[in-house]
Amino acid sequence: AQSVTQLGSHVSVSEGALVLLRCNYSSSVPPYLFWYVQYPNQGLQLLLKYTTGATLVKGINGFEAEFKKSETSFHLTKPSAHMSDAAEYFCAVSPSGGGADGLTFGKGTHLIIQP
């Protein structure tokens, strides 16, 4: 069984400040990990994913995440927040690369950007 815990249902940062969204997972098999973003009234868009190889993964819009097996974490970061980053962010886990299995999502973190 797999599960995802996202710490903090709401995170507020100032424009230009560091963004850190936390994600911890539980998996009985080597996990494949994902971050998706959802803008209001839209579907989910993939930000980045970890499958194998380098544990620091770079995604779109300046986001990156680091897979830490010892900490069972996959936290999402961005050095400098922009107003357009305001959205809902979901961490997800899959037993495979994501194409051939359903995703198990965390509850989501609402990112608020203060001007």
Q: What is the CA radius of gyration of the chain?
A: 13
Binders of other proteins: how many residues, by CB under 8 A? 25
Q: Which of 24, 77, 105, 110 binds other proteins (CB under 8 A)?
A: 105
What is the closest distance, in whole angstroms, from the C-beta atom of residue 32 to other proteins in the complex?
A: 7
Least distance from C-beta 105 to other proteins, angstroms? 4
Residue 43 CA to residue 68 CA, distance in Å, equals 28
Q: Which is nearer to other proteins, 10 or 114 (CB)?
A: 10
Phi, psi of 93 (to 5 degrees): -130, 150
Distance CA(28)–CA(111), nearest Å, equals 30
- Give the x/- contact pattern for other proteins in 39-78, rule: CB under 8 A: --xxxxxx--x-xx--------------------------
